[in-house]
Structure formats: C-alpha cells, structure tokens
C-alpha cells in the first residue's frame, strides 16, 4: 500500500502562513499518517514550526486548509485542537510549576463526583497514564521540582488524558540530554505502534535517522522534498535543506597564535576547582565535556557572573581583582550565553535595539542617542552576518533561532572584544546557519581575537578548536591540540573511560 493510499489522520493542503506581509510558509501540503513518525526539517526560518503550529491551532493560515480524517476543519486554538485529538508538545514545557503532576495532567478537566473534584480518581487515573507511558513519575510530585524532560513527559501525559491521536513535537529534544532523548523516543515509538500519527520538528538529523519513518524538507517556506530515511543520507538531506553545498568541515587557522590574552592559574569557584589554561590572541580554545562538568561555571567566573574563591586570573598580563560583568566588558571580554532567549536578547525589542545594547555608550553623545547612528551601526554588521529579517525594526522574538543567535553575536562583536566567550554557540541552530556561525568565529580568531568556546557538539569542537580542554567533575582532565584529535579521545576523557593524552 502506497503512502497516498494509507489513511491520513491529519493533512495540510496548500498551507500558507504570513507575518508582517511576508510568507513564512508557502503552499505546503503535508500528511500525517497512522503508525508513522514524520520528521519536518529545514534551516532556521524555513517554516517548520509555523507549519506545525497551524496544525496545532496556534497559528491561522492565510491560505489553505487542514483536514481531519479527510474532512476540512478550522482549528482556532490549541485547546480546540486538543478536543480533536491533536496535541502539541513544546520545546519548553508549558506546565504549572506550583501544581503537582496529577493536577497538571488533568488541568481544566478534573474527574468529578457530582460538583466536586474526585481527587482519588485524579491521582488514580494520573498514575495509570504515567504507568501506561512507562514513566517513573510520582503523580503527587511538584512539577517545578522535576527535570525539563519529566516536565515534558507530564505535558505528554496531559495530552494522553485527552485521548490524543496526533502528536506534534516542536523541537522537544533541544533542552534534553542524550539519555533523556532516548527515553522520549521510547515513548514516541510506543505511541506510533498504537496507531498514532507523530510529527517531529527538529534540527538534529541524527535523531531523524534514528526514529523517523518519513522526512519532509522545507526551504524558504516551501516544501522541496519528501523522503524515506532508508532511501537517503544525512548529507543529501542537508544539501536539499540549504540548497547549496557546505564545504569544509574543518576551519583551519589562518594566523599564528599570539601572546596570552587570558590566563587562569589554579582558579576555583562554584562548580569547578584548580583550573589552569590560557587563550592566546588568534586562538580558539574549546572546553569540551558532559553537561554538569563545570564548563559554564568557569565561563561565568571569567566574565564576573560569579566570583572565584581561589587561584588567579590574568587578562592581558594583568591580575584581575574586579570580578564583575561591568569590569569584564571594560577589559574587552564578551560573553554569548548558553540560553540566548533568557540571557542574550530582549525578545520584544528590535534587532537594532538588541544589537547595540552593549555599545550604546560609544554611540551616544553627552547621554543622547541618535537613532540613525544605531541603524547605521547595525546595518553593516547584519549584512556581514547574513541576517535574515524583514527589516532592522523587526522584533527579535519573531526571528528564527539561528537569526536570534546572530543578533546576540552582533551585539558583542560590535564592542570589538579581545576575548569572545561562546557557550553552546550553535545550539538550536540549523546546519546552514551553523556553518555561517562557524565561519564567523574562525574569521574573528584570524583577525587576532581570542576565543573560548564551550560546546557539547563534538563535530563543532573538531571543526573549530585549535586546542581542546576536556572537563570532568569540575576539573580539566585532558588537553588535545592539532587536527588529529578524535571524538573518541574526547569522550574517553569526558567520561573517565580511559586515560587521554594530549596530541
């Protein structure tokens, strides 16, 4: 039986979505079939999430229609979608942190005995749903105390209480560890095997090829391919996604390393101890390791978010005594944080406003800021970074994740720093934008900037790093240099499975 002869639970026909007069999804057809996991992939801004949110009732299409079991249907809200059995699982859980798991699962439709809530039934049914999903979660546990992965599972259990048959996972794996991703995949496969239709929006092609039965590729808002994983390769999918060939996985240094810009000597602080290393001008040093190894904690102390409790830090050959963000900026340190939405940008404000935040004192005269100066300063850098936007007045919250990251980078590059600290610089960024960010980082180093990068993406580490420092348990356990270091060597040092020796 061909795909078109199967019974589709939900279909989109000619879906077009517009924001600010620009089409972000253009005449897309898509079918979500029973017993199938359907991956939707594409670069940032390709329209993946917008298409998924039309099916889930978050957005209304400008043109086209959604069909439920072959019949046209207008879904005006996520609540209405849920009544039709369509559930949206978000990247960040939409749960009530102050309530327990069972209350979250049955929020808005608690089982009742007469006019009163039957709490015994609430907790009994919640436990049954959690058991059915194979989840080890106490229904009486406060959701605010659960991990992000378990909060997502509570949200999933809530959808189960509505008998959902269509599941849309929108970048759900982004905040999860590899172990948590595999636990989520176990649940997704169980739902598929029961006859549910599953759509999965993701940037991670290794996840697509691990779990998906079919792939839809979007580019510039249009559907450009529909593929089966068994009949294609990640490389082919990438080329279809970006519409061009991405050349060169290794960004070689174009300059020699200069004098040390940053030196740590047995520095200790919250979450790390006795850390010693240097970063020279024109050098990219990468801190690799597992989540919780202490990498971000080191970066926070360098920038002055937290204060070290021992050891010494030198910047430009001078001992640092003023550990504060303001002092770091004055010295010439820039910090691109891991969570760009919380700590990197102000989402409701414009690209121009965000891009110039760290540079306002240089653009002002006697305390007054001229708007044309802000626009002029932003325009050149945004073109250089290939920023995809309607105009520079567009709110950053309307941009794709990759373009938001470019705004964060432009904000700090405008300060012309001596040291650029990057914490997971391409998390949630598609392969095309990732390539552009990598190229930009290498260019900054080649112009003499010192770069300290934290990354859990080992392909990214190998593509950019001149030296790799591996952390485990708050300490540096290995150092590698040169182009011959392998992912296996890094993982051995990160997990303690072997003794790593610098190359």
Rounded CA-CA distance 457/203 in Å is 13
For all residues of the chain together, what is the average pLDDT? 84
Give the lowest-confidence range in 50-64, 74-88, 155-169, 190-204: 155-169
* More confident position, 171 or 232: 232
Q: How confident is the model at residue 498 (pLDDT cuts 50, 70, 90)?
A: very low
What are the tens digits of pLDDT across the range 244-278? 555 455 666 667 889 999 999 999 999 999 999 99
C-alpha distances in angstroms, 351 versus 375, 391, 403, 426, 437?
9, 8, 10, 19, 18
For the purposes of burial, counting CB atoms within 10 Å of the CB of 247, is it exposed (0-12), middle (13-18) or buried (19 or more)? exposed
**What's the pLDDT score for residue 381?**
64
In order of 53, 153, 210, the CA distances from 135 in angstroms are: 27, 8, 21
How buried is 256 (Cβ within 10 angstroms: 0-12 exposed, 13-18 middle, 19+ buried)?
Answer: exposed
Whether the pLDDT of residue 387 is over 80: the answer is: no
Q: What's 77's DSSP letter?
A: S
Q: Where are the alpha helices (DSSP H) in 199-243?
A: 205-211, 234-242
Condensed to tens digits (0 to 9), the pLDDT of residues 394-444 reads 888 888 777 887 888 888 888 889 999 999 888 767 677 778 888 889 999
Residue 125, pLDDT > 70, answer yes
What is the percentage of the chain residues whose pLDDT exceeds 90? Answer: 39
The pLDDT of residue 499 = 41
- What would the mean pLDDT of 452-479 be, rounded to a whole number? 90
pLDDT at 497 over 60: no
pLDDT confidence of residue 458: 80
Task: Name all domains of the chain by residue range, CATH numbers in brackets.
Answer: 3-242 (3.40.50.300), 246-332+417-503 (3.40.50.300), 347-410 (no CATH)
Helix, strand or coil for residue 452? strand
**Which is more confident, 260 or 161?**
260
pLDDT, tens digit, 9 for 90 and up, residues 22-45: 788 999 999 999 999 999 998 767
Q: What pLDDT digit, counting tens, does each position of 311-327 carry? A: 999 999 999 998 998 89
User: For residues 344 and 378, what is the distance between their CA atoms, to the nearest angstrom?
Assistant: 16
Return the CA Rg of the chain. Answer: 24
Confidence of residue 228 (pLDDT cuts 50, 70, 90): very high
Q: Answer whether 315's CB lies under 8 Å from 497's CB.
A: no
């Amino acid at each position: 039986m061909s795909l078109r002869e199967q019974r589709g639970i939900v279909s989109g026909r000619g879906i077009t979505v517009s924001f600010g007069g620009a089409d972000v999804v253009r005449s897309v057809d898509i079918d979500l079939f029973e017993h199938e996991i359907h991956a939707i992939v594409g670069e940032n801004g390709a329209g993946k999430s917008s298409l998924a949110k039309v099916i889930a009732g978050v957005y209304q299409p400008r043109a086209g229609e959604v069909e439920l079991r072959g019949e046209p249907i207008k879904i005006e809200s996520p609540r209405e979608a849920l009544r039709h059995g369509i559930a949206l699982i978000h990247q960040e859980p939409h749960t009530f942190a102050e309530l327990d798991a069972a209350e979250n699962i049955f929020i808005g439709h608690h089982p009742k005995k007469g006019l009163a809530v039957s709490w015994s039934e609430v907790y009994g049914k919640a436990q049954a749903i959690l058991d059915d999903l194979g989840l080890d979660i106490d229904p009486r546990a406060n959701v605010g105390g659960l991990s992000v992965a378990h909060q997502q599972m509570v949200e999933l259990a809530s959808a189960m209480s509505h008998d959902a048959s269509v599941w849309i996972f929108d970048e759900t794996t982004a905040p999860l560890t590899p172990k948590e991703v595999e636990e989520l995949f176990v649940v997704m496969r169980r739902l598929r095997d029961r006859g549910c239709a599953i759509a999965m929006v993701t940037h991670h092609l290794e996840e697509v090829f691990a779990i998906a039965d079919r792939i839809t590729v979007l580019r510039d808002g249009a559907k450009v391919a529909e593929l089966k994983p068994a009949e294609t390769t990640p490389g082919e999918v990438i080329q279809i996604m970006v519409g061009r060939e991405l050349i060169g996985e290794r960004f070689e240094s174009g300059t020699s390393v200069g004098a040390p810009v940053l030196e740590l000597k047995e520095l200790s602080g919250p979450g790390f101890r006795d850390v010693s290393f240097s970063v020279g001008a024109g050098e990219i040093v990468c801190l690799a390791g597992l989540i919780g190894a202490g990498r971000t904690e080191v970066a926070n102390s360098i920038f002055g978010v937290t204060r070290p409790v021992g050891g010494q830090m030198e910047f430009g050959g001078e001992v640092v005594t003023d550990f504060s963000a303001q002092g770091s900026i004055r010295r010439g340190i820039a910090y691109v944080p891991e969570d760009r939405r919380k700590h990197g940008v102000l989402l409701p404000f414009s690209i121009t406003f965000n891009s110039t935040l760290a540079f306002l004192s240089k653009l002002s005269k006697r305390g007054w800021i001229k708007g044309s100066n802000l626009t002029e300063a932003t325009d050149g850098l945004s073109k250089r970074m290939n920023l995809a936007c309607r105009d520079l007045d567009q709110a950053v919250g309307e941009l794709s994740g990759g373009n938001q990251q470019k705004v964060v980078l432009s904000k700090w590059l405008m300060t012309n720093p001596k040291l650029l600290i990057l914490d997971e610089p391409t998390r949630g960024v598609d392969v095309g934008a990732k390539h552009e960010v990598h190229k930009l980082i290498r260019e900054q180093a080649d112009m003499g900037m010192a770069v300290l990068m934290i990354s859990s993406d080992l392909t990214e580490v190998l593509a950019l790093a001149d030296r790799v420092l591996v952390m485990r348990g708050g300490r540096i356990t290995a150092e590698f240099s040169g182009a011959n270091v392998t992912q296996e060597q890094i993982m051995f040092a990160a997990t303690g499975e072997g003794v790593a020796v610098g190359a």
